[in-house]
Amino acid sequence: MNIQWYPGHMTKTRRMMEETISLVDIVIELVDARIPYSSKNPDLDHLARNKHRIILLNKSDLADERATAIWEAYFVEKGFRVIRMNALKGNGMGEVTEVARDLMKEKVERLRARGRINVPIRSMIVGIPNVGKSTFINKYVGKTTAKTGDKPGVTRGKQWIKLKKDFELLDTPGILWPKFEDQQVGLKLAFTGAINDDILDAQTMATKFLALMMKRNPDAIKKRYEVEINEETQAHEVLEQIAISRSFKLKGDEPDLQRAAKILLDEFRGGKLGKITLELPEDITEMLEEKKEREKEKRENTKERKAKYTGKK
């Protein structure tokens, strides 16, 4: 299942971000606490390399608390300021302005010494589609200023939002990146709804999700759907068990796998399977090591082909 989704408006958004990044002091990035690495845009590390960075671990109420603590320590070690967030309920909102002001304290004091008072702190808010960015802004500002929706791609243009005399926020549309280096990243984005479901096959996606859950947290599936899982059970068999357990049937009493797949993904996204985190820093280390090995093998194969070609000459 090869997942790539990069609508045309995202290219425009990236160009706009490149043009306006010089206007801001801080880049605030929302990531999904269930997939902190996979939902973090790697392009921003280059784009915002000279800016203060704040990571908001949004939807932390849906993620495993111990895993969230591990991810928080991981990002702090890399130089980010980190805030756990539940944008829907407003948890963590008060810390954002506080942390931003702390990051800008020295610059503000220097400007005041030169007689420049009330120069606003300017922040850019970024995040992948459907990570809760518009919900965060609406709650943060205290009124509905940004559109919200349960499908990715709702925000389409940039807008400056003035919060107080000393704080301004630049909203941007949700943006992914042109190519996923590892398909596991694309899959996890699909599981959480960051990629439009309309372009994906629900049964295939649900089977991939079950395969991951059977390794990471099989008890959550067993408990929710009252199915049997052992070392020999295949993911597609579990999906069929879920359809039977919920009495989802087609004509001829065939299990309705499509309906079971959609219900499974909806219930995961809604937190009905429990507090679940789909990745840990150690998984990412392993993934990056595998990537290095693939690249090394590719270089060696290329070198061998060149050597054979040269030898023929």
pLDDT 10s digits, 49-78: 889 999 999 999 999 999 999 999 999 999
**Protein fold of 8-171:** Rossmann fold (3.40.50)
How high is the mean pLDDT of the chain?
A: 84
- pLDDT given at position 198: 79
Lowest mean pLDDT among 105-119, 258-272, 296-310: 296-310
Q: Tell me, yes or no, if the pTM score tops 0.85.
A: no
* Residue 184: partners with Cβ closer than 8 Å, 6 or more residues away: 38, 287
- pLDDT given at position 303: 75
Residues 89-119: b if buried by 16+ CB within 10 A, e if exposed:
eebbbebbbebbeebbeeebeeeeeeeeeee
- pLDDT given at position 129: 80
Residues 130-153: b if buried by 16+ CB within 10 A, e if exposed:
bbbbbbbbbbbbeeeebebeeebb
Contact status, residue 158 vs residue 16, Cβ threshold 8 Å = yes
- pLDDT given at position 30: 94
Give the dihedral of Cα atoms 37, 41, 47, 50; nearest 10 deg.
-30
Q: Residue 134 and residue 180: Cα distance in Å, rounded?
A: 24
Dump pLDDT digits (tens) for 114-168: 888 778 889 988 888 888 888 998 888 875 454 444 444 444 446 788 877 778 8
- pLDDT given at position 114: 87
Task: Kindly state the tokens that stand for 77.
Answer: 């070690």
Is the pLDDT confidence value at 217 over 90?
yes
Contact status, residue 203 vs residue 239, Cβ threshold 8 Å = yes
For the chain, the domains span 8-171, 201-269
- pLDDT given at position 232: 93
Taking residues 241-252, report their average pLDDT.
94
Is the pLDDT confidence value at 38 over 50?
yes
Between 278 and 46, residue with greater pLDDT: 278
Between 193 and 129, residue with greater pLDDT: 193
Dump pLDDT digits (tens) for 76-96: 999 999 999 999 998 998 899
Contact status, residue 191 vs residue 59, Cβ threshold 8 Å = no
The whole-angstrom distance between residue 178's C-alpha and the CA centroid of its chain comes to 15
Taking residues 28-51, report their average pLDDT.
90
Q: Residue 15 and residue 143: Cα distance in Å, rounded?
A: 29
Is the pLDDT confidence value at 4 over 80?
no
- pLDDT given at position 293: 72
Is the pLDDT confidence value at 169 over 90?
no
The whole-angstrom distance between residue 40's C-alpha and the CA centroid of its chain comes to 5
What is the helix (H) or strand (E) element at residue 225, kind and residue range?
helix 218-225
- pLDDT given at position 304: 73
Q: Residue 177 and residue 290: Cα distance in Å, rounded?
A: 21
Q: Residue 207 and residue 239: Cα distance in Å, rounded?
A: 7
Kindly list the distances between the CA atom of residue 175 and the CA atoms of 41, 187, 240, in Å, as whole numbers in the listed order: 8, 16, 35
- pLDDT given at position 158: 60
